[in-house]
Amino acid sequence: MSRDGDRVVSRSITLNQLGEFGLLQRLFRRIPSPSRTVLIGPGDDAAVLRASADRDWIVTTDMLVEAVDFNRAYSSFRQIGYKALAVNLSDIAAMGGRPVAFLVGLAAPGRTPVRTVDEIYRGMLTLARRYGVALIGGDVSAARQGIMISVMVLGLVEPGTAVTRSGAKFGDRIYVTGTLGDSRAGLEILKQKRRLKPSAMESTLIRRHFFPTPRVEFGRLLSRRGWATAMIDLSDGLASDLRHLCEASRVGARLEWNRFPVSAALAAYARRLNRSATDYALRGGEDFELLFTVNRARVAAVEAAAKRMALAVTPIGTIVSKGLGITLIGKESREIPLTVRGYEHFKHS
Amino acid sequence: MSRDGDRVVSRSITLNQLGEFGLLQRLFRRIPSPSRTVLIGPGDDAAVLRASADRDWIVTTDMLVEAVDFNRAYSSFRQIGYKALAVNLSDIAAMGGRPVAFLVGLAAPGRTPVRTVDEIYRGMLTLARRYGVALIGGDVSAARQGIMISVMVLGLVEPGTAVTRSGAKFGDRIYVTGTLGDSRAGLEILKQKRRLKPSAMESTLIRRHFFPTPRVEFGRLLSRRGWATAMIDLSDGLASDLRHLCEASRVGARLEWNRFPVSAALAAYARRLNRSATDYALRGGEDFELLFTVNRARVAAVEAAAKRMALAVTPIGTIVSKGLGITLIGKESREIPLTVRGYEHFKHS
């Protein structure tokens, strides 16, 4: 038995029992506090390093494992490559940084055709060119089974302006970019349809699953202007990621159910299944939109700037004190505690 | 079919057929030339980035895959963790950098005990503390089978002083640090002995396999003084890594067989098996010593500085013109072309 923060965890339990977030917490509990060079260590969307007065570096890594994070039965390798880089660019965006360079670790069985690796890189390089990010290195290794892609991205930000998860304050408005829940619906459609031809509405949702748009330009705006008090990207789902932001900021939140931005495609899809689009918005993962908080004095400026960039941003709630927890004002204005979680590795495996 | 440099490669061939070095060459062939920010891209031990006038960043990644790069039948997880970080620190050392921070991507099956992950991190953190390197982030993912560890390290170097593979010049002396071939002998012993108790000599070689010493301090000295014209770390074996250095520098080399530094333990081990210790030195991988070239005018200074640091450095040959290729002056002073290669992923799988 070993003491893990306030919890005592037996070392013989498995990763399935501990879960992804429990494991990350455990791994990073012994980490020393920030130093002169390490401004922000583990626990945010990305780390922040400083070695000179005029720039800070932002560094992040994310990996995709075959049969866990992607499935070749319903993804092309080009789509997988695109996404492997996109999720990392989204982490840089969530700190307000400009992505500059990336490295790729790739493990694959020796019997893999070269064509497969070419396609993965083609997917990454298409996105890299769009964002002006340079491939600067990597490593390849044989693997026994399945493909594994590990990507690391480095970005730059003006000194001291990186936006963390921990600055949300009582009274701040909570915003999201774009629409929520599309990616999860797209994945559901893929799993059901396999090789059947999807409808136009279904194709829209599938595209949102395969090709998330890292909100780099808007993230840059928020960091440069100092408009966001806290920010995180939506990878695990709104319910889960808002919880991470609130825990880091030591605040609570009140979400307004009827404000969640939902695409016409998702609304139609949910209606057809007689399910709630809100539920997709709350629990769906992999939207890779930005969730951020704004002081009320800056709300008008943020909304005007987003409009000029033709990017939808939607206020979906308000930061409250920690003691009030995270609640959802649902139908008939009833306020209920938000317990729904998003995706977590191991817990579902 | 697609044109790959001068070679036409069918896209239907497999990674086994192409090999690790062929694959890396293919992946990085479309890479744009260095930019204002990217001073050195793929193809060296690490990439070099510049965002301000007073410091350059060095970035590298290496991954270890279970059953390919390590085997739990004869390694502890602490040893595996140590080595996963050590091989990356060695890449930073080979550029003359000071390692500063690292990130870890870890994929493992859900049934893995938490204890296992703890041990891997313990191995890494032991080494990290010794070198003053901070763990700044990472990612964890479920995996279907086997553990995969992907490590990225960031280091700093004075602007423009990173030592590449490409600066070796005709007439330069070729040096290595430490002794060569121990790691490979240690691995052989592990594979044969399994749970039998090794002798003291065998334990020495096994330790060299599990706990390579990244030559950071000496690499720093070489970059700060500008003494090394080219440098690479010995990961794949002297024969293979010297070839990489010579190709990057567009030179040949003449190696002096009788000068290879071999430990007493390796000499005794090879003698017992009636094999050549030189062969271990030439072909053995994972030594993680530095191979570097020095202008003859700097040879005395380098040797004196190494002596003050109590580090063995040994001249093992001379850089010659590219047309002469890489040759080995063997027994009876016969000069033979060096064709022996070291370890390469996929080719052996």
A249 in any annotated domain? yes
A231 is a domain residue: yes
CATH of the domain at A261: 3.90.650.10
Chain B interface, mutation test: which of A9, A58, A71, A136, most B Cβ atoms within 10 Å?
A136
**Pair of tokens at residue B191:** 């594979």
Domain of A242 in residue numbering reads as 173-337
Claim to verify: residue A267 and residue A197 sit in the same structural domain: yes
Chain A hits for B115, Cβ within 8 Å: 11-12
Residues belonging to chain B: 349
How crowded is residue A223: how many other Cβ atoms within 10 Å of its Cβ? 24
Contact A154 B49 (CB under 8 A): yes
**In contact, A173 and A294? CB cutoff 8 Å:** yes
Q: Which of residues A126, A157, A188 is at a domain's end? A: A157
Token look-up 């977590």 returns A344
Q: Do B136 and A110 touch (CB under 8 A)?
A: no
Q: What pLDDT score does B180 carry?
A: 97
Across residues A252-259, what is the average pLDDT? 94
The answer to whether B1 contacts chain A (CB < 8 Å) is: no
Please check whether residue B347 lies inside any domain of the structure: no
Instruction: Please list every residue in chain B whose beta carbon sits closer than 8 Å to the beta carbon of residue A143.
Output: 65, 68, 146, 148
* Separation CA A128–CA A133 (nearest Å): 5
Contacts of B10 in chain A (CB under 8 A): 114
Average pLDDT over residues A225-230: 98
A105 and A20 co-located in one domain: no
- Strand pairing report for A134-142 and B173-177: unpaired
Name the token pair of A217.
């330009």
Position B230 scores a pLDDT of 98
Do residues B149 and B199 share a domain?
A: no
Domain co-membership, B21 together with B55? no
- Within this chain, do residues B51 and B153 fall inside the same structural domain, yes or no? yes
In A, which residues are within 8 Å of B148 by CB distance? 65, 107, 143, 148
A18 lies in the same domain as A40: no
pLDDT band at B3 (very low <50, low <70, confident <90, very high): very low
**Dihedral sign (CA A284, A288, A289, A294):** positive
A77 and A133, same structural domain? Answer: yes
Amino acid identity, residue B25? Q
B166 within domain boundaries: no
Say if residues A152 and A88 touch (Cβ distance below 8 Å).
yes
Q: Do A110 and B146 touch (CB under 8 A)?
A: no
Q: What confidence tens digit (pLDDT) does each residue in B179-219 have?
A: 999 999 999 999 887 667 889 999 999 999 999 999 999 99
Q: Which two tokens stand for residue B133?
A: 């390197």
Residue A2 has pLDDT above 60, yes or no: no
Q: How far apart are the CA of A256 and the nearest CA of chain B, in angstroms?
A: 31
Contact A286, A224 (CB under 8 A): no
Smallest Cβ–Cβ distance between B59 and the set A24, A105, A137 belongs to A137
- Do A12 and B114 make contact, defined as CB atoms within 8 angstroms? yes
Based on the domain organization, do A179 and A318 belong to the same domain? yes
Query: What would the mean pLDDT of A93-118 be, rounded to a whole number?
Result: 95
Beta-ladder partners of B290: B233
Looking at the structure, do residues A112 and A188 belong to the same domain, yes or no?
no
Residues A202 and A318 in one domain: yes
Nearest chain A residue to B117 by CA distance is: A27
B residues 319..348 contacting A (CB < 8 A): 345-346
From chain A residues 242-261, the ones with a CB under 8 A of any chain B CB are: none
Domain stop point among B104, B133, B157: B157
B121-144 per-position pLDDT tens digit = 999 999 999 999 999 999 999 998
> For testing the chain A interface, which of B16, B39, B63 should be mutated: the one with the most A CBs within 10 Å?
B63
pLDDT in tens, A278-325: 999 999 999 999 999 999 999 999 999 999 999 999 999 999 999 999
Range of weakest confidence among A14-18, A264-268, A303-307, B223-227: A14-18
User: Regarding beta strands B173-177 and B313-320, do their DSSP bridges make them parallel or antiparallel, or are they unpaired?
Assistant: antiparallel
Band (pLDDT 50/70/90 cuts) for residue B32 is low
Interface of A with B in 70-109 (CB under 8 A): 100-101, 103-105, 107-109
Q: Does B21 touch chain A (CB under 8 A)?
A: no
Average pLDDT over all residues of chain A = 91
Longest dimension (CA), chain A: 59
For residue range B258-303, what is the model confidence (pLDDT) as tens digits?
999 999 999 999 999 999 999 999 999 999 999 999 999 999 999 9
- Provide the 10 A C-beta neighbour count for residue A303: 15
ipTM for this prediction: 0.90
Q: Is A134 on the interface with B (CB under 8 A)?
A: yes
Instruction: Check residue B27 and give its pLDDT.
Output: 82
Residue A308 lies in a domain: yes
Using the predicted structure, report yes or no on whether residue A217 has a pLDDT greater than 60. yes
Centroid of chain to Cα A222: 17
* Same structural domain, B153 and B182: no
Give the count of domains, chain B: 3
Give the predicted TM-score (pTM) of the model.
0.91
Task: Give the chain B residue nearest A101 (alpha carbons).
Answer: B38
B52-89 per-position pLDDT tens digit = 889 999 999 999 999 999 999 889 999 999 999 999 99
Which B residues, 170 through 199, put their C-beta within 8 Å of a C-beta on chain A? none
Q: What is the pLDDT of residue B48?
A: 94
Whole-number Å distance between alpha carbons of A76 and B225: 50
Please check whether residue B345 lies inside any domain of the structure. Answer: no
Residue finishing a domain among A128, A157, A186: A157
Residue B93 has pLDDT above 80, yes or no: yes
Kindly write down the DSSP assignment for every residue of A86-154, as one continuous string: HHHHHHHHHTT-EEEEEEEEEEE-TTSBHHHHHHHHHHHHHHHHHHT-EEEEEEEEE-SSS-EEEEEEE
For chain B, list the strands marked E by DSSP: 2-4, 7-9, 38-40, 47-52, 55-65, 98-108, 134-142, 148-157, 173-177, 228-233, 252-256, 290-294, 313-320, 326-329, 335-337
Say whether B15 and A67 touch across the interface (CB within 8 A). Answer: no
Residue at B343 is within a domain: no
Pairwise CA distance, residues A283 & A281, whole Å: 6
Say which CATH number the domain at B80 has: 3.30.1330.10
Residues B25 and B70 in one domain: no
Q: What are phi and psi of A208, to 5 degrees?
A: -65, -30
Residues above pLDDT 90, as percent of chain A: 75
In-domain check, residue B164: no
